[in-house]
Amino acid sequence: MTVAHVPYEDLRRANAPLFDEYCDTFTRTLETGRYVLGKGVARFEQEWAAYCGAKHAVGVGSIACRTNLRVVEDCAQSHDARCRGRMTGTFGDCGAYGFCPTKNLGALPRSMTSWRVAERAGTRGASGDE
């Protein structure tokens, strides 16, 4: 029996068609020092709306405070990451972490949430695991 080798993912090949655009965008971002918000986000919102065929697309962080919108942070790859002294998972109402074996911190349970308001957190073992 012959076993074929199937590569998991060839990022060099996948990125090749847009490599120059990625480099230009990365350089512009690095030069501005604005990694979140700003003109880049506004441009991305416009492009995303056009791509989706929608009239508007707005990043959640752009409107959450003004409209009392609840925010769930996707912290799947940010274990122990901090911004201005705060741990990820503490900026929104809830932070969701993933611990699957393919994540940078594989552990049981496979996911966890952190909550800013205790009453919304529920109880330990609510998923059936103790």
Instruction: Tally Cβ neighbours within 10 Å of residue 22.
Output: 11
Residue 119 has pLDDT above 70, yes or no: no
Decide if 45 contacts 32 (C-beta within 8 A): no
Q: What is the pLDDT of residues 6-43, one digit of tens each?
A: 777 788 888 899 999 999 988 988 898 877 677 887 88
Q: Which pair of structure tokens corresponds to residue 15? A: 């990125």
Q: Which pair of structure tokens corresponds to residue 99? A: 């611990």
CA dihedral sign, ordered 95, 101, 103, 107: positive
pTM attached to this predicted model: 0.44
Which pairing describes strands 72-74 and 94-98: parallel, antiparallel, or unpaired?
parallel
Q: What is the pLDDT of residues 92-110, one digit of tens each?
A: 888 888 776 666 555 555 6
- Annotate 5-66 with three-state secondary structure: CCCCCCHHHHHHHHHHHHHHHHHHHHHHCCCCCHHHHHHHHHHHHHHHCCCCCCCHHHHHHH
pLDDT of residue 127: 47
